[in-house]
Amino acid sequence: MEEKGSCKVSVIIPYVDEKIYIDDCLDSLEDQTCRDFEAVVVCDHSGREALDRLKGKKVSYPLTILEIGSSRTGVAAARNDGLRRSRGEYILFLDCDDYLEKTALAELLQCAAGDSALIRCGVRETWYGRAVYYDNGEELDARNNESASVQREDREWSVLGWMIRRDYLTERGCTFDESYRYYTDLPFVAELLAGQGKSVATEKILYLKRRRNDPVQLPSLSQIPDETGRIREMLRAYRRMKELLRGEEEKQLDHGFICYFARHIAPWFVTAEGTEAEEVHGEFSECCRLLSKETVERASSHNRKLIRYASRHGAAQIAGRLRRAEMWRTLGRVIRSRAAAKKYLYRKVFSHMKLREDTIVFESFLGRSYSDSPRALFEYLSRHYPGRYKHIWILNEKRKLPFPAKCIPRYSFRYFYYVARAKYFIFNNRQSRDFVKRDGMVFLETWHGTPLKKLALDLGEVMASAPLTKRDVYRHACEWDYLIAPNQFSADIFRRCFLYQGVLLKTGYPRNDMLYLEESGRRKKVDAVRQELGIPEDRKVILYAPTWRDDEYYAPAKHSFCLQMDLKKMRDGLGSEYVLLLRTHYYVAEKLDLSEYSGFLYDVSGYPDIAELYLISDLLITDYSSVFFDYANLRRPMLFFTYDLEKYRDILRGFYMDMEEELPGPMLFTTEEIIASVENLDQIQAEYEEKYNIFYNKYCGWEDGRASQRVVDAVFGREQESAE
């Protein structure tokens, strides 16, 4: 082995088994403009598969893979082992889920000119991996209000973003205290600062701290549910740091501690119980005696009053004060805001009233339409069990329904009243965050399609929703009593992507029962829909139903849509024989101005139920939407306009199936290809006949027009048996 100091920088990376992150981390080193460095990855009981994968990673720089001994574990132990085995003149610690800008090492070394012992750069938090971040991640982070240089009290003392001269570490005898789990960095950084080594800094963002969006399956240390352990460790770290620091660093430490108390410790007392609360309060009181009066005086008014009160009172009194303060804040919100008043009544009044055993609440696409499987189940129940149940439909727009039901808008007073009291809920999306499932309630989740795109906990990046959507999806799925699967392919995916443990109904989708109407009923429905839309009798119908893009949105569930199809060419090439129906996804918020193509193009994005549009269509054009799984029940031709295939597959979402192998129609990339394919449909149908049959048997084999009956028998029949 070469002697210490035989390379300029050693990058030390602790690693467990976060394989979805480590490639970005190591690839960011591959791209460094400075090449005089080594990487040392220290595996913390990662398992043989993870070790073999790391050792098989092809890189152009020196890469050492180490394993921690069986008796030790944690970030501190991994970093200490990395320090012992590394040989660089400078040390930089890099977490395995983070990555560096391309010029990071070069610019830090440039700052290190002279006798600087500590060199620090700017650190920015992001929810995204390198590909998305460099494409549009900064903009996405800004929308989520999660971007900016790291300034939280536990990050001010982080070693991340620091490059440290090795001989300074040796001189100080600095190592990581392996008894710490959550706040390993704090006493270590205090040791560094206490040595009064020359420090320089650049404000330039060179270190990207990636936040984890899956706290269910792959939580970071800060996401592990152990608030008590974190608080006690912080109190211990504070006492140790007070022994080491003086001057401005000590004032900064005290300020950070006061902020940490207000944000974490004080609220913890509200939920803590018994001797544990008193023990923590005793440790906190020791820390309070170490606070400088000057720093307390300079704290914000709220924090100053709170820390003074807490230093003179016990845990129960602190909890009582915070409860009273929250009560007054809640009262203020209720008085000022109708929305707050509704939620208050829901939690404090309606949710304590008796459940209505005969009431069913239906919701489709967040109250936007009367459609999908909730509609099919409502109509089946109304026909076969008239008068047995009281039906409540969540609909944001007034609509006359074919059977008796109350229609109420989402988030109205009546909405909160009924969702608090109804026994049954039938919906095709996730339930509202405001929902509190009471004992005795029954949730039937119908979902809304066979998944082609990665879903829920199977997603890598989460761009279209709140960053912690995976956490929310898991919490919601834990409340579902029943979940419908349209085929075995979906059943397997739903179990995994939702971590679903409830009853999985392998029934087919009730919404597709309409596609199996007898010929007379189908003809009647088709004539009625065509007449309602004003489609000429002599024109065939093309339905274009694209999905949304994760990176094109104004806000969560409010997406923009950029139409890539050349409508003028479509009209000129096909307008004498066809009309085109455009059906954008319900997430798309904007309305497109399509008046120029009147007579050829019909915007049916607001049409209540897409199943009726399937019935009148002679041809479907889509991309990555699940609509083609349903449309295949009709055995009619399909074309796939996949102009952004590589980006959608490799960056935005990823797929569960190999589209090139399985799709029952051609993948097209230009408007000219679409027109040519429509003009040669007979040839395409013949070419894809075998694939279509295989596709139909795999994804539509459970569909026969009786899915609603099977679901109602399973859910309501079982509930009746339970009641008896």
Categorize the per-residue pLDDT at 627 as very low, low, confident or very high, splitting at 50, 70 and 90.
very high
User: Mean pLDDT lowest for which of 442-446, 481-485, 587-591, 683-687?
Assistant: 587-591
- Does residue 557 register a pLDDT over 50? no
Closest to 127 (Cα-Cα) out of 109, 107, 142, 141: 141
- Does residue 84 register a pLDDT over 90? yes
Beta-strand pair 442-445/482-485: parallel
Residue type, 221: L
- Does residue 240 register a pLDDT over 80? yes
Pair of tokens at residue 570: 């479509």
pLDDT in tens, 1-37: 344 568 999 999 999 877 889 999 999 999 999 999 9
For residues 386-395, give the mean pLDDT.
Answer: 97
Which residues are 40's β-sheet partners? 12, 64
716 DSSP 8-state letter = I
pLDDT of residue 153: 43
- Does residue 64 register a pLDDT over 70? yes
Helix (H) or strand (E) holding 323: helix 315-336
Indicate the angle between helix axes 227-244 and 247-260, nearest 10 degrees.
Answer: 160
440 DSSP 8-state letter = T
Categorize the per-residue pLDDT at 649 as very low, low, confident or very high, splitting at 50, 70 and 90.
confident
Ranges of H-type helices in 337-482:
338-348, 372-384, 413-421, 469-477
- Does residue 573 register a pLDDT over 90? yes
pLDDT of residue 667: 95
Residues in the chain: 724
DSSP 452-507: -B--GGG-S---SS-TTHHHHHHHHHTT-SEEEESSHHHHHHHHHHTT--SEEEES
Please give the mean pLDDT across all residues of the chain. Answer: 90
pLDDT of residue 613: 96
Pair of tokens at residue 325: 């303060």
Percent of all residues in the chain with a pLDDT value above 70, rounded to a whole number? 93
What's the gap between Cα 698 and its chain centre?
A: 29
Burial of 201-238, coded b for 16+ CB within 10 Å and e otherwise, reads: eeeebbbbbbbbbbbbebeeeebeeeeeebbbbbbbbb
d(CA 631, CA 611): 8
Ranges of H-type helices in 507-578:
519-533, 567-574
Q: Which residues make Cβ contacts (< 8 Å) with residue 17, sequence separation at least 6?
A: 46, 47, 50
With beta carbons less than 8 A apart as the criterion, state whether 7 and 62 touch: yes
- Does residue 517 register a pLDDT over 70? yes
pLDDT of residue 620: 97
- Does residue 686 register a pLDDT over 70? yes
pLDDT of residue 154: 47
123 three-state secondary structure: strand
- Does residue 393 register a pLDDT over 60? yes
Closest to 525 (Cα-Cα) out of 634, 599, 628, 426: 634
pLDDT in tens, 588-601: 544 667 788 999 99
Better pLDDT: 559 or 297: 297
d(CA 85, CA 94): 16
Helix (H) or strand (E) holding 92: strand 88-93
Pair of tokens at residue 576: 């004498």
| CA–CA–CA angle 393, 398, 401 (5° rounding) | 55
d(CA 297, CA 619): 73
d(CA 512, CA 16): 45
d(CA 10, CA 452): 43
Closest to 575 (Cα-Cα) out of 605, 539, 613, 604: 539
pLDDT in tens, 302-345: 999 999 999 999 999 999 999 999 999 999 999 999 999 999 99
| CA–CA–CA angle 470, 472, 476 (5° rounding) | 120
- Does residue 152 register a pLDDT over 70? no
d(CA 66, CA 201): 31
- Does residue 171 register a pLDDT over 70? yes
| CA–CA–CA angle 581, 596, 529 (5° rounding) | 25
Phi, psi (rounded to 5 degrees) for 113:
-55, 135
Ranges of H-type helices in 195-265:
227-244, 247-260
DSSP 673-711: HHHHHHHTHHHHHHHTHHHHHHHHHHHSTT-SS-HHHHH
Longest CA pairwise span in the chain (Å):
90
For residues 677-681, give the mean pLDDT.
Answer: 96
For residues 41-53, give the mean pLDDT.
Answer: 84
pLDDT of residue 479: 96
- Does residue 272 register a pLDDT over 50? yes
| CA–CA–CA angle 557, 563, 565 (5° rounding) | 145
d(CA 136, CA 139): 6
Residue 280 has, within 13 A of its CA and on its CB side, a CA count of 26
Pair of tokens at residue 559: 């997406």
Handedness of CA 30, 32, 36, 41 (dihedral sign): negative
CA distances to 9, 37, 166 from 34, in Å: 10, 8, 18
d(CA 658, CA 443): 33
Residue type, 23: D
Helix (H) or strand (E) holding 164: strand 162-165
CA distances to 348, 424, 556, 636 from 641, in Å: 51, 40, 25, 17
